Structure formats: C-alpha cells, structure tokens
Structure 1
C-alpha cells in the first residue's frame, strides 16, 4: 500500500475555485470550462477525464440546477453554483442537487443574497474537512495495519489495501446517506408548503 502521506499528496485536496479565481465579468461556456479544467486539473484520475463539458453545463441548465443564463454568459454566481454542483455530484443525484440548491437559486433571483459569502463559508468548511480527512485517513490506515498485523500472508499488502478501501467506502456511504436524509427533509418541507 502506498505511503499514506504520498496518497494524501496525490489527492490534490487543496484544489478548488476560489472567489479570486472567478473573473468579475461574465464568461462564455468555453471560458467556464477552461476555468474548471484549470482549477481542478490535479484532481483527475486520468488525463482524458473531463471536469466539466458543454453537455454537463447544458444538462445542469435544463435541469434547473442554477438560475437562467443571460445572453449565453455565465455570471460569478453561476460559476460558484457550478463549483458546488461539481462537489455535490460525487455523492448526490442530480435531483438531490437541484433540491439542495433550490433555495440558493431562489434567493439569488429574488433578493440581494450574497452567494459569495455563502461560497466562502463553504470553502472554509471544505478546508476544515480536508484537515479532518487527513487525520482520519491516517487513523484508518493504522487501524487496518493493526487488524492485519497477525496475518503472515504473502498478500498482506493487497489485503491491507482492500480493507482500507472497504473502510473508506463504508465511511463515504454513511456520509452520503446522512446528506440524502437532509435533502429528503428539504423535499418534505417543500411538499408541505
């Protein structure tokens, strides 16, 4: 199994799109895609992977995951929402993302809602989560080693890796399920009103 520090380094956990990365002027779709490709290029599993495509953006627009675009240009708010969508789509369905972001979209369109402040809060929590994740991954790797310490197998390294993968996936599933329950609460409240 890779050294955990090497694994953490290879994850490029600090890659993101900050408010400072987003131009003040509205962008055409190709410029938005370029911004995302540059901002998240280190997070790709392989070089062929696309972070964002025209088809994805069009599907987000058709699915009403963000408020309507004006003159084929995407505002700073659109880009912040797309960044949130990019993060959320790793765990939630498109329907869940739409439900989750509907209040933001409504507030952006109907009031003076400062999405920038909300986005900064999200990034702050993201970096706190990165720190927690790094510590947790180290602990999980150590727990796996301890569980398999008594095994004198030639395939011990592969067994460690497989057990750590299973542990990480089960943890991920627990967080995903909790997020889905919170989205369900949004949907239930929407149905009641």
Structure 2
C-alpha cells in the first residue's frame, strides 16, 4: 500500500511538472508591437515549447498561419504584420486545434473575433484574460480529478496475473482519461451545433424586430 501511494505521489508530481511546463502565456507577455511572420512563429515556439510532445514538433508554422487567414479563421494581417490581438487569437486556435476541426473552430471563434477584434470597449485581450482567469481556477480541480482516476485505475484488474497488472493499470487509466475527453468533446460539438442552429434560425424576438 505504501509503495502504491508513493508511486501515485511521484506520478502526480510528474503531471504537475508537465502541466506547468506547458507555459501558459499571459497576455502581458505577448509583445505589444506588430510582428512579422518569422517573429510570430519564433515567439510561439519559444513560449509554448513545454507543449511539444517531441523536440522536432512545431507549434505553429507559416503554412498553418497563412491557411488560418485564408480560411477566415484569423483576421488578415496588416501589411504582413500581426498585432497583439492576432497573437492572442492564434493562441486560442492552437489550443482548439488539438481537439476540434477547423470548421468547428470557425463556429466558435469567428463570432468572437467579429465582435471583439480591435473592439472599442472590449477587445481580444480582455476576452483572453477572462478565459484564462477561469482556467487557472480549474487547474486545481483538474489535479484532484487526475489523482482520483489514477487511484481508481490502480484498483482495477486485481484478479489478473500480477506480472500484467502494471500494464493493465496504465491501460485502465488511459481508458478513463480517454472517456473523459470523449464525453467533453461530444458536449463541445453539441454546443457548437446549437450555436449554428441559433445563427441559422433567429430567435422570435429578433425576427419581430426585423
């Protein structure tokens, strides 16, 4: 039992280090000057290096960014220069693209950029700060949930051969995490579909005003 508890503590400590290494970028760390493409990709690579699975992985390439602008996912740069709001929008795209399709990201992000990109009262920096203020609070809950699932995984496959249990415990843990991701992804997709339905079918009050 003591060995199991020590393994859990060690595992969770490693997870904490990995998450902290993901380098959440604060809005004040984003340059407040317009940047050329090379400067954008360099900044993203340096700031989000902890998010890479492999050293050779690229965070955002020139091709990716050009495609985002071409497909109206990212507002076009001004004279080939990207503003701070471009950078913050690219950060949202980066986090979304690992779990959502480009069309789904468009459904989520386009209404935000249309309303707040270069906004007068509120802009993309205000949106970014508000979102990540909430995410910072959620981080503590995340670690508790991970610890709970890890402990549950260690209690599975007790009747299986002892020499297989470490592998099976890892498999069980992966399954629990995968199911959690699957359910959350499904909820996100349903929310996106609902947003599309609302856009296609104006509310009754809006229809009357027209």
Classify the TM-score, shorter chain: over 0.9
CA distance in 2, matches of 1:96, 1:146: 38
For normalisation by structure 1, the TM-score amounts to 0.92
1:35 correspondence with 2:35: no
CA distance in 1, matches of 2:21, 2:175: 21
How many residues align? The count is: 193
Contact 1:22 1:79 in 2 (8 A): yes
> Which stretches in structure 1 are left out of the alignment for 5+ residues?
none
Counterpart of 1:23 in structure 2 is: 31
Counterpart of 1:86 in structure 2 is: 94
Higher relative contact order (CA 8 A, sep 6+): 1
CA distance in 1, matches of 2:98, 2:111: 21
CA distance in 1, matches of 2:99, 2:68: 16
1:108 correspondence with 2:116: yes
1:76 correspondence with 2:81: no
- 1:158 shift after superposition: 0.7
Contact 1:17 1:36 in 2 (8 A): no
> Which stretches in structure 2 are left out of the alignment for 5+ residues?
1-6, 203-210
Counterpart selection for 1:120 from 124, 129, 135: 129
Per the alignment, do residues 109 and 155 of structure 1 end up closer, same or farther by CA in structure 2, a change over 3 Å counting?
closer
Q: Aligned-pair RMSD on alpha carbons?
A: 1.8
Contact 1:15 1:39 in 2 (8 A): yes
- 1:40 shift after superposition: 0.8
CA distance in 2, matches of 1:102, 1:64: 8
Structure whose alpha-carbon radius of gyration is higher: 2
